[in-house]
Amino acid sequence: MTAPTLRVAPAGFGFGSRRSARLIERNLYVYKHGWLVILSGFFEPLFYLLGIGFGLGSLIGTINGPAGQPISYQLFVAPALLTTAAMNGAINESTFNFFFKLNYNKTFASILATPLSPGDIALGELGWALIRGGLYALGFMAVMGLFGLVVTPWVVLAVPAALLVGFAFGAVGMAATSFMTTWQDFDLIQLVVLPLFLFSGTFYPVDAYPDALRVIVQLTPLYQGVDLIRSLAVGAISPILLFHVAYLALMGIAGLAVTSRRIDLLLLK
């Protein structure tokens, strides 16, 4: 139950402690009744891989990879799909589901009457989203293997990298959700997520942009994940990957800190 992500915030950091694992236990109980729902998250990237990677990809042939070497379009796009799936999975769990629990279902209020703190709730909910995300990532890796898209042992690190992407987007998603008051506000999230999904070097290299625009794209969060996971998938290891990791980790920690503060303000009145 001690997922690696739970160690991100040690006890006494100001948010979250080992007690947050109890939230994960709760969600395991819930999903025991409806575990089929969990499978849905596995199919999204698979369908994209078949439709875009193999369908559209057959017209494209090879493309330049992270280190400039030519690679098949499928190998180019598969790691990016893994990244966007990690982002979407984390955002779904941390926005819609989190909003419901925060505003409609009194679960959090009852939990706060126990020794658990708002930080424990934030971290526990995120931990659960990441466990789901981790399972999807493993499933997707297996599919990549089946299609012959596993070309380097470095690709193993793509799974923890996908978790890091989920952590970053999940935490920021929860933080954003804690400011929302109506379901309509979620359209704003799509307004951010959709361009990230389409323009972050997901389906074509960012070299396609004019220089100024390229630099802007390279500073957006999803690009960090896409470049990180794609580089790992093709074995193009360079120091820039450390920057991507640090960027995503900071984004997640900031999101968690805001979330735990907001739960505090919203529920501990």
Partner 1 sequence: MPEHPSEPLIHARELTKRFGTFTAVDSIDFDVARGESFGFLGPNGAGKTSTMRMIGSVSPISAGTLRVMGMDPATEGSRIRARVGVVPQQDTLDNELTVRENLVIYGRYFGLARAEIGRRADELLEFAQLTERAGDQVEPLSGGMKRRLTIARSLINEPELLLLDEPTTGLDPQARHLLWDRLYRLKQRGVTLVLTTHYMDEAEQLCDRLVVMDKARIVAEGSPRELIERYSTREVAELRFGPDVAEGLDGRLEGIAQRVEHLPDRVLLYADDGEAAASAVHQRGLKPETVLVRRSSLEDVFLRLTGRSLIE
Residues that bind partner 1 (CB under 8 A): 19, 22, 25-26, 29-30, 33, 105-107, 109-117, 267-269
Least distance in angstroms from the C-beta of 180 to partner 1: 21
User: 19 vs 230, which CB is nearer to partner 1?
Assistant: 19
What's 181's DSSP letter? -
Least distance in angstroms from the C-beta of 14 to partner 1: 14
Alpha-carbon distance of 119 to 52, in angstroms, equals 40
User: 212 vs 269, which CB is nearer to partner 1?
Assistant: 269
User: 112 vs 217, which CB is nearer to partner 1?
Assistant: 112
Sign of CA dihedral 158, 159, 162, 168: negative
User: 97 vs 220, which CB is nearer to partner 1?
Assistant: 97
User: 100 vs 243, which CB is nearer to partner 1?
Assistant: 100
Measured between alpha carbons, how far is residue 141 from residues 134, 145, 153, 158, 162 in Å?
11, 6, 12, 9, 11
Least distance in angstroms from the C-beta of 27 to partner 1: 9
If DSSP codes are grouped into helix, strand and coil, which group holds residue 238? coil
Least distance in angstroms from the C-beta of 88 to partner 1: 23
Alpha-carbon distance of 203 to 199, in angstroms, equals 8
Gyration radius of the chain over CA positions: 19
Least distance in angstroms from the C-beta of 103 to partner 1: 13
User: 157 vs 267, which CB is nearer to partner 1?
Assistant: 267
Least distance in angstroms from the C-beta of 173 to partner 1: 21
Alpha-carbon distance of 16 to 157, in angstroms, equals 26
Sign of CA dihedral 205, 208, 209, 211: positive
If DSSP codes are grouped into helix, strand and coil, which group holds residue 72? strand
Alpha-carbon distance of 144 to 75, in angstroms, equals 9
